[in-house]
Amino acid sequence: MKNFPQKTHASSPYIWISAAETSGDIHGANLIGSLAELTEDYQFIGIGGPEMRSKEFSALIRSEELSVMGFTEVLGMLPKILGILRRNKQLLRAYMPRCIILIDAPDYHFRIAKIASKLGIPVYYYISPQIWAWRKRRVYFMRKYVQKILCIIPFEKEFYASYGIDVEFVGHPLLQYMDLPSLDSICSAKRIIAILPGSRKKEISSLLPHFAEAAGIIKKHFPDTEFYLIRSPHIEEGQLENLWPPDLPCSIIQFSERYQAIRECTAVMTASGTASLECAILNIPTVVAYKLSWISYQLGKLVVDVPYISLPNLIQKKRVFPEFIQSDVNAEKLAAQILEWLKNPSEMQEVKKELLNIRQMLGKVTASHTAAEIILRDIRCSDKEFETVNAKG
């Protein structure tokens, strides 16, 4: 670290971008692409996964090192996480980036926001944490340590603004890199069920056995049903195969091909998260499952304050996608909902009608470009102020 000279953030050639999860890695990659199109003045460094590393980005820390979920799961990795935090702090001091852009993952990024703020590095939050859902008092932390929030869900802007936080709605990034005209043209006469078991190993081991058993039940009622099992980037196919019945035919779909695959489907079973919103945008009826360890769930109940767990339901303020939480995550209940749709296609059509306005509600289709423009505009305005003050001095 001693080989890197410290700089004031106003003269730094670096922008630090930090994504600690799979979905954040995807959004980060698109943001890097937009920033690179708009400027050649900066190098992009920080924390990222395979998608970000495929862009003009140097991952000083790999996001795979931080891929955990739940309270107890985080506790088990605490020594490792603390070591990564120390390394992160050293790297920020060494590079002194012009600004730091945090993407979701508040449990880790709040600590980074505090470190960066103390170093005088402006902090932007793109894909803001869902503090409107739980532990709402964290909004005061955001107000103190984050210079600006770039939110992607419409109702977030009003929430943050009500606390006096500088916030701008940039639209949802999912719309940006989904080729919707092409995807909308896809149709299939086959009966296909897609299964998205999550992006973390513990999540997959918790949910996939239930999804697989539900698939077996569906197959008994509709023998011609096919199944797609969608694999997240850093999940080995072997892990999925070990949790899937060997006598039940299934096609493993690579992550990069998931949108086309989902559009071919009749319905979907998915882990809660970004995937449920992807399915809503693609207009496919979906059941959503969410399951943690017992203690993680009990602790979560104390702080969560939302009527639904899936974003499509929250955005539309109604139950459009059926949700199965904790003890309700079992094969019989999951299969029963899918079978209800398969036996009564009119019910699936009602779900599709409810989903039609999701795209419009999510706003602009250039979220990362809009976010990049805002960040660069702020940086340039700040630099001009810096130069003016120096000139007067």
Tens digits of per-residue pLDDT, 142-176? 999 999 999 999 889 989 999 999 999 999 988 98
- Is 3 a member of any domain? no
- Span 277-311, pLDDT tens digits: 999 999 999 999 999 876 776 666 656 767 888 99
Q: Are 232 and 349 in the same domain?
A: yes
Q: Are 258 and 186 in the same domain?
A: yes
CA distances from 351 to 50, 51, 156, 319, 344 (A): 34, 32, 25, 10, 12
- Span 41-66, pLDDT tens digits: 999 999 999 999 999 999 999 998 88
Output the pLDDT for position 331.
97
**1 falls in which pLDDT band (50, 70, 90)?**
very low
How many domains does the chain divide into?
2
138-145 helix and 106-118 helix, angle to the nearest 10 degrees: 30
Q: Are 195 and 305 in the same domain?
A: yes
Q: Which residues contact 124 (CB under 8 A, 6 or more apart)?
A: 99, 100, 101, 102, 146, 147, 148, 149, 150, 375, 378
Which residues span the domain enclosing 155?
9-172+363-392
- Is 75 a member of any domain? yes
pLDDT higher than threshold 90 for residue 240: yes
Question: pLDDT above 70 covers what percent of the chain?
Answer: 90
Output the pLDDT for position 124.
98
pTM of the model: 0.77
Q: Are 377 and 256 in the same domain?
A: no
Element (H, E) at 234: none
Q: Are 377 and 344 in the same domain?
A: no
- Encoded tokens for 325: 């939480």
Neighbours of 27 (CB within 10 A): 28
> Which residue would you say has higher pLDDT here, 128 or 148?
148
- Is 1 a member of any domain? no
**12 falls in which pLDDT band (50, 70, 90)?**
confident
3-state secondary structure of 304: strand
Element (H, E) at 273: none
